[in-house]
Amino acid sequence: MGQKQEFHTCRRREKLSENQLLCSTKERMRPHEISVFSRLYKAVKTCYDDSVELRKTGKEDECMETLLSIAVALTAGLLFSRVVKRFKLPAVTGYLIAGILIGPYCLGRLGIPGLGFVSHEAVTSLDIISQVALGFIAFAIGNEFRLSQLKKTGRQATVIAIVQALAATILVDLVLAGVHFLAPDKLPLEAAITLGAIATATAPAATLMVVRQYKARGPLTDILLPIVALDDAVGLVVFAVSFGIAKAMVHGEFSLISILAEPILEVVASIALGTLMGLLFTWFEKWFHSNSKRLCLSVTFVILTVAISMMEFEIGGVVHVGFSSLLVCMMLGSIFCNICDFSAELMEKTDKWTAPLFVLFFVLSGAELELSVFADIAIVLIGVAYIFARSAGKYIGAYFSARGMKCGPNIVKYLGITLLPQAGVALGMSLTAAQTLGAEGSLIRNVSLFAVLVYELVGPLLTKIALTRAGEIVPRAVAQISDEDDEE
């Protein structure tokens, strides 16, 4: 006890050098204790010096601002989920509105770091959170691909997913091609073709959140989630073909490999990687028996899968191959739920762990929305035409394909409405176009941003209305108390 007091006394005085301090203490210590004390002192001094260095370089301030931004984002999301509940709107709508209000165009304009996001760079600096959240969303959707369920709806879901995606592409292409011929200086044909391909994409995150919040159950919900998952694969192929044609028109280069081979390889490679990770995940889970360790392993594997799916490589220096993180994580969840006996129990625990992550993801999505697109009337008009054409294509394609597959009346009537939300996948496609097509790419990006802004705010509400009218959302008045607590 006396040695510790002497140590602290010496440190407070800060008059002794390191050697003097050690010497004064060594006189009262046994030889075998001297080495331990020296190491302890050096470790404390190193930590202190590192802290001083952090302050000098500004890293500590940057870390503080990031943590404050995350805390403000979570707080705003939770508060606005209560606000929108008064108007019987889905919680995801509240998260998105909260993101807009703390984003660069509202609270961020005050220029106070940490109190909201002062720039789009501040939002994109947290992109790793969005990537991980999308991985868990895809993992959860993959758990809906149970063989017992796929035997009933698998064929129907596959046909509907393909038809509604192609219908949206064709209708958007036709409408925007008409706009091109009316005003060729405002909308190039290359941009119209690419936007038609982007129309295929559906937002799995918003759909899944609405289904979970209201605990929707029934034939429409059962077929909806597989369709949303398959939509990503169909969208990748359609976009690659349309984008390849648009790129050939702009640059005068036509590559059959980039149009056909690469998108098919990406889908196949993503399915193969997801299957491999799912098998490894299930094998490692058998090594652990406590729920906490199994949950920890689940989180580890989803993050690991997202990281690996970001890799890209070339075959023979000609064929470029990448992965779709959504498809890979969907396959991870699908393999796991079909060969692991306790997958349902583990998924329930994972859902609770990821709840704050999903709130943060949607708040960041709202903060990332580009409100400046409203300043250009041409973008707004093209965006309105795109929204109406895509919505009509999705609904018509889903209606007639569901009817042709002899689905139930509620599926035929309401499925198309639930497929309207659009977000991350579409933005990723538009970013690819913006980086490659020059001025046409910038136009595509801005129109996509406008459409996503509208779809993200309106889409979840329409999904809720469709599921309610289909009788698959239990009215709050008859819900169990535990369900009410979870919904809140």
Please state the three-class secondary structure of 300-332 as a single string.
Answer: HHHHHHHHHCCCCEEECCCEEECCCHHHHHHHH
Give the pLDDT of residue 279. 92
Q: Distances from the Cα of 14 to the Cαs of 2, 9, 296, 385, 396, in angstroms?
A: 19, 9, 45, 72, 78
Tell me if residue 96 falls in helix, strand or coil: helix
Residue 416 identity: G
Q: Which residues pair with 93 in a beta bridge?
A: none
Summarize pLDDT for 178-235 with one digit per residue, the tens: 888 888 888 888 888 888 888 888 877 778 888 888 888 888 888 888 888 788 778 8
Contact 410, 220 (CB under 8 A): yes
Distance CA 187, CA 48 (A): 60
Summarize pLDDT for 426-466 with one digit per residue, the tens: 777 777 777 677 777 778 878 887 888 788 778 888 888 88
Give the pLDDT of residue 42. 60
Using a 10 angstrom Cβ sphere, with 0-12 exposed, 13-18 middle and 19 or more buried, the burial of residue 56 is exposed
Integer Rg of the chain from CA: 27
Cβ-Cβ contacts under 8 Å for 388 (sequence gap 6 or more): 175
Give the pLDDT of residue 184. 81
Give the pLDDT of residue 302. 92
Give the pLDDT of residue 16. 44
What domains does the chain contain, in order, with CATH numbers? 2-57 (no CATH), 62-124 (no CATH), 128-487 (1.20.1530.20)
Distance CA 160, CA 403 (A): 10
Give the residues of the chain that fall short of pLDDT 70.
1-61, 149, 251-260, 316-319, 373, 424, 435, 475-488
Give the pLDDT of residue 222. 85
